[in-house]
Structure 1
Amino acid sequence: MEKIKANITGKELLELGYPQGKVMGVALEVAAQHFGGCGIEETYSVLKSVLLKPDNFVHDEKLSAIAHELLKPKDEVLPLRDTPDLYKVYGAEGIEQGAVNQIEMAMRLPIAKAGALMPDAHQGYGLPIGGVLATENAVIPYGVGVDIGCRMCMTIYDIPESILSERKEDLKQMLIRNTKFGRATFSKPKDHEVLENSLFREIKLIEGLKDKAAAQIGSSGGGNHFVEFGITEIEDPDNEFKLPVGRYLALLSHSGSRGFGGAIAQYYTKLAMSKCKLPHEARHLSWLDLDTEDGQEYWLAMNLAGDYASACHHQIHERMAVGLRATPVAMVENHHNFAWKEKDLQGNEIIVHRKGATPAGKGVLGIIPGSMTAPGYIVRGKGEESSINSASHGAGRAMSRTKAKNSLDKQAVAQHIRTAGVEVIGSGIDEAPMAYKDIKQVMESQKDLVDVVGSFQPKIVRMCGDEKFQEVD
């Protein structure tokens, strides 16, 4: 038989029945190294024989590499439900299709029990921002989000709103001196009891992150995170703070667990994806079973990151209270990137992921901010089961950061902010007010989910960066 150089391709290996993956590369390499001078039919025959009975070739000098690769245990891809279970949407007219596609993918998971889209929803990774998902005995790291424990915190002072004009420069300097954003940290960070948590000794990953956590404590992230002075108006005479109806000075902050929480999220997301094999399009929804050591470890780490995020906010507010030489008369705060153990109507335990959603169980207080020029709201949850006891976490983006940067006029944005009577220190065009949805429409879409206790109007806003937003033009 005439000997010719075999020209085996990946396509031809597929036709022989070889599975896609590393084994194809190994087979091509072996064929080129040992069978390049053989007839093509002979090469096909040898490769087919190894494929059909790899056990017979595990000790073959030339073919053992292919045999070992074929005999490796195959990762089983978990099937999704053919169609998504039913879920509730609030404010559907303002929600982009990408967010809808993501919640529908989540509702095809075999662990999914219930789902909902809040009116501020937009596309993210895994769950959409503004997505709520209840699961059975499983936690999805990307369902919680990268910024674990991202939260709102407000302190209210019995100080007349006139301070905002009378001591405007003092308040601005107070914000600049006592807040750090992005990569900036305090030269002498404060200590906090959260850093003494035993998990910093018991979990190797957490132990390795302690120095980062200690260095960044009391600081805020970049992007849409902020610390701002403004006017809170208490509207409900039966408010939980027992404050008279009226207007008060308030401080509002928005941030999460910094690099500490981000590292936890990335590590356990990769771990979940390696152990919970889902179809490629659903890979960011990989979960950890709470009956496993990995699932329990993530749950502990997630809760520690939430406690750390709360500690960061409390240090910010403590620094401001010292600067104001005043004691707050009320504080309200809530996570909106987290997972909770709750009960459904039948009394069964469910794991509720709120990725960019505010807890709104019956009587639960929370904060829903607007944009840098639009009001935010102190709300009391109504405990609506169809929303899985949730509400929006803000106005929600109307356009992506890229679109905002490419389409918005800096001078027009600066004029809009000046007209609103707001001063912004830091930030960028991607955080412009018009990049966000109308918070009043969002609140109208969720009037069945929350009652409004009071409102908050930003006046001096501090975000990442030291320049005044008004000076960009």
Structure 2
Amino acid sequence: MPVQMELNKNARDGHKPVKIFTRDIENSALTQLKNIAGLPIVHGHVAAMPDVHTGIGATVGSVIPTREAIIPAAVGVDIGCGMNAVRLSLRASQLPDNLRGVREAIERAVPVGAGAHKKVSARMGSCQRLAPELNHLFEKHPVLLKMMRQPQETWVRQMGTLGSGNHFIEVCIDESDYVWIMLHSGSRGIGNAIGRHFIRLARKDMTRHQQQLPDKDLAYFTEGSECFDDYIEAVDWAQRYAGLNRREMMGLVVRAIALQLPPFTAIGEAINCHHNYVQKEAHFGADVYVTRKGAISARKGELGIIPGSMGAKSYIVRGKGNADALCSCAHGAGRRMSRSAARRRFSRRDMEAQTQGVECRKDKGVIDEIPGAYKDIDQVMENQRDLVEVVHTLKQVVCVKG
């Protein structure tokens, strides 16, 4: 049965309640949630999704409604990170027995890790609409030019690239044997620079106002403050860049695998959703800024993507609009251990065993992404039956990791 617990239910010290949709949560994450709930800007309550785990300042898997204020570190530095998925007309039986050629075709088409496209002009089609606003941001915040190598070109060449960490591109099979492409990425280096810049400004702003915080990474801007409008402008730009980055990547992947597979078309609705972002919404009688740090919007009828680890199932879901969850749900399985802990605990042999049947890298460079480092996606889904319904269940057969 779904699990829900609550912190600060009867608190009289100004702390707002925290509604948590799991009992599988570390003490450090509980502390972070209590810290967030004690901020005077929080409206109503904070929600924590079933994949919740400790983050930097704000907890990963948290949904934070704030009145007339935003916490830049809660949005984070991978601004607009999220998912894109599309179903193809191909069936599983039409895939080759050996999928290495498909994986290598994707890796040739999409730069991974710190890589970028070699030619600036190749990405300008998707970037033209964003360029004037970015130039305006550079004029307002010249420090951004110093935070990136060749920033005037890098953001263009990184459009349509994967990045590193837990970002991925997968070929999956659903319950009806249809083939899907699913990918996970965000706003790349330019989003990272914007995030770091404004997190520093928020800390400085808190010091100027002598605001006492339980964690420096909970520093926030309030409406009317010097940097609030600048942050809104910048974060909106980065979120749109992230969405375009995923669309560009999806096009590159489709064209790359088309050379390896029988003719196909895209069928059904393509889903493109953020899970690290902030936007204005109405909740409990107020217009608030809702920050989803490792959570997706799950309004009634809204489609979303919840990926498992690289050896587990993933899900296409439809939101139920649960008010206690602030119309949100989990963004994935959620880490059970840190990257360094995973590298200490697991070996290449473990990686091979846990990703059996998946065409992917199995070397020591990706051990920190081993399925055993993540929570059980099936338990995460069980704990959020009140938040979403499953529309499709996917199992990856190819995984390209950043």
Q: Deviations over 1:8-66 (max 9, x none)?
A: xxxxxxxxxxxxxxxxxxxxxxxxxxxxxxxxxxxxxxxxxxxxxxxxxxxxxxxxxxx
Unmatched 5+ stretches in structure 1: 1-80, 234-245, 465-473
Cα 1:136–1:280 change in 2 (3 A) is closer
Match in the other structure for 2:167: 225
Which consecutive unaligned segments of at least 5 residues does structure 2 have?
Answer: 1-11, 146-150
Other-structure match for 1:201: 135
CA spacing shift, 1:432–1:110, aligned 2, 3 Å: same
Contact 1:321/1:327, CA 8 A, preserved across alignment? no
SS in 2 for 1:302: helix
Query: Could you tell me which amino acid in structure 1 is paired with residue 307 of structure 2?
Result: P
Alignment of 1:19-418 (within 5 A): 82=13, 84-92=15-23, 94-113=24-43, 114-166=45-97, 168-188=99-119, 189-197=122-130, 198-203=132-137, 204=139, 205=141, 208=145, 209-233=151-175, 246-277=176-207, 278-279=211-212, 281-323=214-256, 324=258, 326-330=264-268, 331-346=270-285, 348-418=286-356
Q: How many residues align?
A: 368
When residues 178 and 433 of structure 1 are mapped into structure 2, their CA distance, relative to the original with a 3 A threshold, is same
* SS, match of residue 352 in structure 2: helix
Name the CA shift for 1:415/1:167 in 2 (closer, same or farther; >3 Å): closer
Per the TM alignment, residue 167 of structure 1 is displaced from its structure 2 partner at its CA by 6.3
TM-superposed CA distance for 1:300, in Å, is 1.5
The structure richer in helix per residue is 1
> Take 2:118 and 2:94, find their aligned partners in 1: how far apart are those partners?
30
For residue 164 of structure 1, report the CA deviation from its aligned partner.
Answer: 3.0
Instruction: Give the TM-score taking structure 2 as reference length.
Output: 0.87
Q: Distance in 2 between matches of 1:280 and 1:175?
A: 45
Cα distance in 1 for partners of 2:101, 2:212 equals: 55
Q: What is the aligned-residue identity percentage? A: 35
Instruction: Give secondary structure in 2 for the equivalent of 1:425.
Output: coil
Counterparts in 2 of 1:127 and 1:339: CA distance versus 1, 3 Å: same
Instruction: Give 1:166 shift.
Output: 4.3
Q: Which has the higher contact order (CA 8 A, sep 6+)?
A: 2
Distance 2:336 2:277 in 1: 23
| Aligned mates of 1:446, 1:461 — CA distance in 2 | 26
Contact 1:200 1:210 in 2 (8 A): no
User: Match of 1:146, as an amino acid?
Assistant: V
CA distances 1:257-279 after superposition (whole Å, capped 9, x unpaired): 00110000000111111112343
Q: Distance in 2 between matches of 1:392 and 1:369?
A: 9
Question: Of 371, 387, 400, which aligns to 1:433?
Answer: 371
Q: Residue type of the partner of 1:368?
A: I
Contact 2:113 2:162 in 1 (8 A): yes
Q: Classify 1:305/1:287 alpha carbon distance in 2 versus 1 (closer, same or farther; 3 Å).
A: same
* Structure (1 or 2) with the greater strand fraction: 2
CA contact (8 A) 1:231 1:457 kept: yes
Equivalent-residue separation in structure 1 for 2:46 and 2:100 (angstroms) = 46
Measure, in 1, the Cα distance between the counterparts of 2:17 and 2:302: 26
In the superposition, the TM-score normalised over structure 1's length comes to 0.75
Contact 2:354-2:370 within 8 A present in 1 as well: no
Q: Give the 3-state SS of the residue equivalent to 1:104 in structure 2.
A: helix
Q: Structure 1 residues 285 and 136, CA, compared in 2 at 3 Å: closer, same or farther?
A: same
Partner of 1:240 in structure 2? none
Q: 1:422 aligns with which of 358, 379, 400?
A: 358
Return the offset for 1:293.
4.8
Question: What is the rounded CA distance, in whole Å, between the counterparts of 2:14 and 2:40 in structure 1?
Answer: 11
Q: CA deviation at 1:296?
A: 1.4
Alignment check: 8 A CA contact 2:42 2:64 kept: yes
CA offsets, 1:195-251, max 9 Å, x none?
Answer: 433312322238834422112111011111101111123xxxxxxxxxxxx321111
User: In the aligned structure 2, how far is the partner of 1:303 from the partner of 1:168?
Assistant: 38
Tell which structure's C-alpha radius of gyration is larger. Answer: 1
What does residue 39 of structure 1 align with? Answer: none
Partners of 2:128 and 2:324 in 1: CA distance: 38
